Structure 1
Amino acid sequence: MGCRRGLSEVFRAEAGAEFAFLVDDAGFWGPEQTDSGLLFHGSGLDVEVWFLDGHEPQVTTLIAPVASDGVRARGVWLDDLYVLSGCGPAQDVPGSAPTRRATLKRVQQHAAALRRLMPRLLTAEGAQLIARCRRG
Structure 2
Amino acid sequence: MSTQTILLAVGLGAAAGLLSGTFGVGGGILFVPTLVALGLGQVEAAATSLLAIVPTAGVGVWRQARFGNLRWRPALVVGVASIAGIEVGVQIATRLDEGLLRRLFGILLLVVAAQLAWRSRRIPRGYPEKR
Structure with more helix by fraction: 2
Please give the TM-score of this superposition, normalised by the length of structure 1.
0.30
* Greater percentage in strand: 1
Greater C-alpha radius of gyration: 2
Alignment TM-score, normalising by the size of structure 2: 0.30
